Structure 1
């Protein structure tokens, strides 16, 4: 049975460590108050029918190591401000389009797995992908990106 409705506002007193709501019937906006879940290490809202922008408050989730947002309806690519501990970021099938943003040189020192496949990115690959020193898996398939991935030094 599917859940219906939308997510409530989250309070700072929550000690929630894992929020896995993939493939439910929930929809709407991902609330800005998601950033109040400061103990959260896993956020999985895949195939959730979210719309609107990705909240900036995700940067407050300093314990977050896995972010799974694929299969939603985010209308445009937006800068994804994440805490630096994130190891795995999956955002395939989100309808992102345009040029792919470039991470800052020290933005995601722990990032090991990125899946941005089945979006509508176009243009050159960001050269700063080479600065992701821990990167082990990168999936940009089904996009129109071009260029070289430079060797990590």
Structure 2
């Protein structure tokens, strides 16, 4: 009784001029439906460009817990497969990164494929437009990767319902507004989130840093290469667990940072202020805590 099947996995494709050359090619996946007891399936870096049935086949694997189809050149999900989606309670880890999946095809299937996802990777696809609030229904989610897409607008309020979310990567999108904790009295994510990457977006102004201070559990924060400007308030020191802080490549102009900004950042290990017009005002005898 086969429970684990790995044919690709972990970068075994060949990288040629920044493109990935798949080392295996597989046609239709109907044969997988006979492996009804499979729990872990990894076909990463296997070309599945002709596997138009991949989503229907996955729906027929009731015990599947971990699925990785990273960099598989997946064809778009057929709308006809939505009606055949089984609402699974077993699938906890799903990696569809590095494909060309679009919002209109992947979202309807995704939001019905599992009720217990813990880790989801949709990075390096072609997701566009605002982030759907249906993500907020994934209340068991701990790790969410949406980087390197074309998502835009506000970082949606529905994150507040994801009480287990600890890692959120939304680097390299077109996000412009930070609204994740606008209602902190209801946002359990404010206390669960430990690592947050929003680098290479279009966040601007200084209100973002004010909102960030409402995430007291953060240990890693990357806001590099946005459009942040204005002042940096001493309240940034209200992140006592912060270990890595990156503000590189923003639009600050002659902003002063003093010892007071670091007074409570006793866990800070890495600070990146490269390519910014910031002034550090500290005494010669200052010894960081």
Conserved? CA contact 2:155–2:177, under 8 Å: no
Q: Structure 1 length normalisation: TM-score? A: 0.88
Higher helix share: 2
Distance 1:126 1:79 in 2: 19
Conserved? CA contact 1:104–1:128, under 8 Å: no
Higher relative contact order (CA 8 A, sep 6+): 1
Off by >6 Å, runs of 4+ in structure 1? none
Q: How many residues align?
A: 150
Conserved? CA contact 1:43–1:67, under 8 Å: yes
Deviation at 1:104, TM superposition (A): 7.3
Q: Is 1:134 the counterpart of 2:241 in the alignment? A: yes
Q: Is 1:39 the counterpart of 2:140 in the alignment? A: yes
Conserved? CA contact 2:136–2:158, under 8 Å: yes
Conserved? CA contact 1:25–1:48, under 8 Å: yes
Deviation at 1:88, TM superposition (A): 0.2
Conserved? CA contact 1:47–1:71, under 8 Å: yes
Distance 1:29 1:42 in 2: 20
Structure 2, unpaired ranges of 5+: 1-72, 74-98, 182-186, 266-289
**RMSD over equivalenced CA pairs, Å:** 2.0
Partner of 2:204: 97
Aligned counterpart in structure 2 of residue 5 of structure 1, from 99, 102, 118: 102
Distance 2:155 2:212 in 1: 19
Partner of 1:147: 256
Distance 1:39 1:71 in 2: 25
Conserved? CA contact 1:77–1:98, under 8 Å: no
Superposed counterparts of 1:3-152, under 5 Å: 3-6=100-103, 7-8=106-107, 10=111, 14-74=115-175, 76-81=176-181, 83=189, 84-101=191-208, 102-103=210-211, 107-145=214-252, 146-148=255-257, 149-152=261-264
Structure 1, unpaired ranges of 5+: none
Q: Structure 2 length normalisation: TM-score? A: 0.48
String of CA shifts for 1:8-27, please: whole Å, max 9, x gaps: 2536x710001111112232
